Amino acid sequence: MKFDIITIFPEAFTSYLNTSILKRAQEKRLIDIHIHNLRNFAGDERRTVDGRPYGGGPGMVLKIEPIARAIGSILRNSKPEILNSKQIQNTKLKKRTKIILFSAAGKQFDQKMARDLSKNYDRIVMIAGHYEGIDERIKKIISDFGFRISDLSVGPYVLTGGELPVMVVVDATSRHVAGVLGKEQSLEENRLGIGVPAYTRPENFIWRRKNYRVPKVLLSGDHAKIAVWRRKHKRQSD
């Protein structure tokens, strides 16, 4: 699985994407993450990537030209020129590539979507928007060249930029790539009772003269009773 991230703040990804499970997954070449600085695709010396919105209004909008150049470069793995239909004709590439933008009004990202992305696509290109959004025409350009594009939201709230949503999608999708978690059973959704309380050693923990115990049923070794306990607590947490 390849992830390409277009952003004006590449430094925002360094720590999280190079830590723990995602770091090991990259080292094993199970996933491949590339960060693309949008300013490198600007056409002027000042590397301008935003402009004032037509029709007025507050804030700035990310310009269409550098985004088109960035996407064109990623999909061709060649020079950062404007997206060119004659150079992108591979049907399989188009079917196995997904381009994602982020918006509070987009479709709600969930676990099923993360699983589907991992199974149906080889490459995910994400644009981390900022300011007042992205020039809307980029959606038409991407669609005209036959690539699948989605507007996603990671929650019913507004963030200052698309960097956090991008990391959410990378993390949630990577977990479904074979080998990333080591064992398929590690997938939370495969466990009995999603979100049930978890306990580990010590069995008794004394804090300020009060004993905090692990529920006895979990120590019983009776798997049938443990399953009932987990189902019960799952229902209580729904």
Q: What is the pLDDT of residues 146-157, one digit of tens each?
A: 898 999 999 999
Q: Is 204 helix (H, G, I), strand (E, B) or coil?
A: strand
Pick the residue with more confidence: 185 or 217?
Answer: 217
Residues 126, 226 within the same domain? no
User: What mean pLDDT do residues 91-114 have?
Assistant: 89
Residues 168 and 220 both lie in one domain: no
Per the structure, the count of domains in the chain is: 2
In this structure, the answer to whether residues 56 and 103 fall within a common structural domain is yes
pLDDT attached to residue 58 = 84
Domain boundaries, position 166: 2-185
Q: Give yes or no: residues 125 and 197 share one domain.
A: no
Does the pLDDT of residue 79 top 50, yes or no? no
pLDDT at 91: 67
- Contact of 68 with 138, CB cutoff 8 Å: yes
19 and 133 part of one domain: yes
Residue 45 one-letter amino acid: E
**pLDDT at residue 59 tops 50:** yes
Do 52 and 134 lie in one domain? The reply is yes
Please give the Cα distance from 122 to 186 (Å, whole number).
22
94 CB burial (10 A radius; 0-12, 13-18, 19+): middle
pLDDT at 85 over 50: yes
What is the pTM (predicted TM-score) of this model? 0.83
103 versus 80: the higher-pLDDT residue is 103
148 in the same domain as 32? yes
Distance CA(173)–CA(170), nearest Å, equals 5
Judge if 97 and 208 occupy the same domain.
no
110 and 213 belong to one structural domain = no
Q: Given 144, 165, 185, which residue is the final one in a domain? A: 185
Neighbours of 167 (CB within 10 A): 19
pLDDT digits (tens, 9 = 90+) for 61-78: 999 999 999 999 998 754
CA–CA distance, 227 with 207 (Å, rounded to integer): 29
